[in-house]
């Protein structure tokens, strides 16, 4: 930590707590429990219950924090009304990316995928609500993510809204998260090179983490939009952070226990999945995670960004976390 | 037909053939078979193959036709560049809505839902590619729909792009298609009133059909945007058409055979699902479908719309089809 003095000057816990208060309130309001619609007809209450179960009261919310830290990195001297609209867009983006993450966990846990029964210390959605409802809840959460970004109440310029949809769709789709999961599926029981492993994780978890940073960065004033250099710096930061997250995940899968993780530990090895630990060994994986942290911090230096303290602290947290 | 002279003056087959040529080409290009990405890394080819299998070479493409007929109904004397951009947006919207429809069929056919093995005369996606790949293909198709609407190559004003995303997300999500499927799930083996049945279908199939019309109508010049009255007329048309589609579907499920339908006939009764035929009887269902056709056509009359011939012909086709 001593090599990174800026981190010491920033209290991540205080910032995270305040930030997540807003995110949790917004998620609870936007993934609403009931829904007398315009015509007063009965709403599919069971589906909404499954959606709320999947989203609320769980998770570290890393992706929303990255979105809002990304917004802080580009926030400038915007006119007050514009600043409010962009802050609203960033909050919507933070929730949207969490809905995508939540839906991916619901589908990933299903019997035809990882067949996991425990998530964040609770029964998984299909265990609690049945497979069909879990499938639909995941589908509906993905749609809701895009609805949040473009809701009639959204006040950001339409160009910002459209860019947020584009970034989220790319990060979630076949050249992002879903594509990475498909490669993962095909890799079980196969020996992967380090490069193939990196490609898989770059899509499977990296795309959405990097996308979170870039969505935050997209919440900037169209009149004085972010410099290309600043966006490239944030993109490099996001790529390094996304990879570091996965390397550390693989490390924790062998070094932590299920109670600490809140999910089944050791399942990668049990399922014969290639991981950084299986390819590089534990010590080299740990060194690689620190190297990626260095790359992420370096990318932020001197890029003409506004306030990168939260991004720096989050990178440190991702690499040095214990759960 | 004699009471509706405008339909006779319009050759639906010629219009559909020309329109679907554009849609099929666009779908084939946008659901691309391979994808050397920016960095030249290996793409998840198996996932893309499953996505293409789910989307290409099949289906009546009713939803894309409704989008493009909706666009025709609002197209005005736009400047040439704007007209081209809005036509491009309508083509993107037509493909996006078909991707949503295709994904819903993939997930709906899975063992935990309808467990269907035959679709459009071919093995369903999970039969052909496995359940996990089918789940991911559906998820990736939904993301791709929103990516198409907001791609960097999209030339329509950002406000049009954002509105298209909002309409599609609402039509697909928990207050639309996915919500309707959840109600459907809960209704198996239960007696439903006609009103409950209507509520279910209004969401399950009606929302996306009505949404298709409204997405077409959203492709209009922001400078001279559609009148509220015109949009209300199109919304009423879409609601009547969406309901008529389902009533006719229920009728065909008991009057047609599997070979004609290209899917398993009689499965509603076999699964003890409530249908219009089971609630109203066959004769009253047929009369109701004709009544809804009348409502759809009436909604289009005198609403200050540009060219409603395709919309009128499509309504006639939906109600009087034999497959």
DSSP secondary structure letters along A203-234: IIIIHHHHHHHHHHHH-S-GGGPPPHHHHHHH
Q: Do B136 and A173 touch (CB under 8 A)?
A: no
User: What does the pLDDT look like over A131-166, one tens digit per residue?
Assistant: 999 999 999 999 999 999 999 999 999 999 999 999
Task: Please compute, for residue B55, the number of CA atoms within 13 A of its CA located in the half-sphere on the CB side.
Answer: 35
Residues of chain B contacting A30 with CB distance shorter than 8 Å? none
Give the pLDDT confidence score for residue A61 in this predicted structure.
97
What is d(CA A158, CA A11) in angstroms, rounded to the nearest whole number?
34
Identify which of B46, B142, B169 has the shortest CB distance to residue A186.
B46
The two tokens of residue A22 are 């807003």
CB atoms closer than 10 angstroms to residue A17: 10
What is d(CA A71, CA B222) in angstroms, rounded to the nearest whole number?
29
Give the pLDDT confidence score for residue B9 in this predicted structure.
65
Give the pLDDT confidence score for residue A38 in this predicted structure.
52
Residue of B nearest to A106 (CA): B135
**A8 has pLDDT over 60:** no
Q: Do B173 and A132 touch (CB under 8 A)?
A: no
Q: Do A199 and B42 touch (CB under 8 A)?
A: yes
Give the pLDDT confidence score for residue B37 in this predicted structure.
52
Q: Do A142 and B143 touch (CB under 8 A)?
A: yes
Contacts of A118 (CB under 8 A, 6+ apart): A124, A258, A262, A263, A264
What is d(CA A113, CA A270) in angstroms, rounded to the nearest whole number?
14
- Which stretches of chain B score pLDDT less than 50? 1-8, 40
In total, how many domains does chain B have?
1
Count residue pairs from A and B with Cβ separation < 8 A.
184
Q: At what angle are helices B80-108 and B177-187 packed, to 10 degrees?
A: 20
**A303 has pLDDT over 90:** no
**CATH code for the domain of A134:** 1.10.600.10
**A233 has pLDDT over 50:** yes
Percent of chain A with pLDDT over 90: 70
Percent of chain B with pLDDT over 70: 89
Mind telling me how many Å the CA of B3 is from chain A's nearest CA?
Answer: 32
The residue assigned the tokens 């509603």 is B268
Q: Which residue stretches of chain B are H helix?
A: 5-8, 12-30, 45-55, 62-74, 80-108, 125-129, 131-150, 158-172, 177-187, 194-201, 207-218, 228-255, 258-261, 267-270, 276-280, 282-300, 309-320
| Domain coverage including residue A158 | 5-320
Residue of B nearest to A140 (CA): B173
Identify which of B37, B130, B173 has the shortest CB distance to residue A143.
B173
Q: Is the dihedral of CA A106, A107, A111, A114 positive or negative?
A: negative
ipTM given for this complex: 0.93
Residue of B nearest to A109 (CA): B132
Residue of B nearest to A161 (CA): B162
CB atoms closer than 10 angstroms to residue B206: 26
**Where is pLDDT greater, at A4 or A132?**
A132
Q: Are B217 and B226 in contact (CB under 8 A)?
A: yes
Q: Any bridge partners for residue A119, and if so which?
A: A122
**A263 has pLDDT over 70:** no
Give the pLDDT confidence score for residue B251 in this predicted structure.
94
Give the pLDDT confidence score for residue B188 in this predicted structure.
79
Contacts of B287 (CB under 8 A, 6+ apart): none
First to last CA, chain B: 19
Mind telling me how many Å the CA of A113 is from chain B's nearest CA?
Answer: 6
Q: Do A162 and B166 touch (CB under 8 A)?
A: no
What is d(CA B16, CA A35) in angstroms, rounded to the nearest whole number?
38
Residues of chain B contacting A158 with CB distance shorter than 8 Å? 157-159, 161-162
User: What does the pLDDT look like over B204-237, one tens digit per residue?
Assistant: 999 999 999 999 999 998 777 678 888 999 999 9
CB atoms closer than 10 angstroms to residue A306: 14
Give the pLDDT confidence score for residue B3 in this predicted structure.
45
Q: Do A44 and B183 touch (CB under 8 A)?
A: yes
User: What does the pLDDT look like over A208-229, one tens digit per residue?
Assistant: 999 999 999 999 987 776 788 8
What is d(CA A149, CA B163) in angstroms, rounded to the nearest whole number?
11
Q: Do B174 and A51 touch (CB under 8 A)?
A: yes
Give the pLDDT confidence score for residue B182 in this predicted structure.
93
Residue of A nearest to B184 (CA): A44
**Phi then psi dihedrals of residue B119, to 5 deg:** -150, 125
Identify which of B139, B158, B181 has the shortest CB distance to residue A162.
B158
Contacts of B152 (CB under 8 A, 6+ apart): A166
* C-alpha distances out from residue B263 to A129, B200, B252, Å: 29, 22, 11
Give the pLDDT confidence score for residue A161 in this predicted structure.
98
């Amino acid at each position: 930590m001593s090599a990174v003095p800026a981190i010491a000057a920033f209290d991540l816990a205080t910032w995270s707590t305040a930030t997540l208060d807003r995110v949790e309130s917004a998620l609870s309001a936007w993934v609403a429990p009931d829904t007398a619609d315009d015509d007063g007809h009965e709403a599919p209450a069971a589906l909404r219950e499954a959606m709320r179960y999947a989203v609320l009261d769980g998770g570290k919310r890393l992706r929303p924090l990255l979105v809002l830290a990304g917004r802080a990195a580009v926030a400038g001297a915007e006119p007050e009304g514009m600043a409010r609209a962009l802050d609203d867009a960033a909050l919507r983006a933070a929730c949207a990316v969490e809905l995508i993450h939540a839906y991916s966990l619901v589908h990933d846990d299903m019997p035809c995928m990882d067949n996991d029964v425990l998530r964040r210390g609770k029964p998984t959605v299909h265990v609690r609500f049945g497979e069909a409802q879990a499938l639909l809840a995941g589908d509906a959460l993905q749609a809701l993510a895009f609805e949040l970004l473009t809701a009639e109440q959204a006040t950001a310029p339409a160009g910002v809204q459209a860019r947020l949809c584009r970034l989220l769709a790319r990060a979630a789709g076949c050249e992002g998260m879903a594509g990475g999961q498909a490669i993962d599926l095909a890799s079980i029981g196969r020996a992967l090179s380090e490069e193939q492993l990196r490609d898989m994780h770059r899509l499977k978890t990296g795309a959405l983490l990097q996308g979170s940073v870039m969505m935050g960065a997209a919440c900037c004033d169209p009149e004085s939009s972010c410099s290309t250099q600043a966006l490239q710096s944030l993109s490099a930061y996001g790529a390094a952070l996304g990879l570091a997250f996965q390397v550390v995940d693989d490390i924790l899968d062998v070094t932590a226990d299920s109670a600490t993780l809140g999910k089944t530990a050791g399942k990668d090895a049990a399922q014969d999945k290639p991981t950084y630990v299986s390819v590089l060994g534990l010590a080299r994986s740990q060194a690689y995670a620190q190297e990626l942290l260095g790359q992420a911090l370096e990318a932020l230096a001197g890029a003409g960004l506004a306030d990168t303290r939260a991004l720096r602290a989050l990178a440190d947290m991702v690499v040095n976390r214990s759960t």
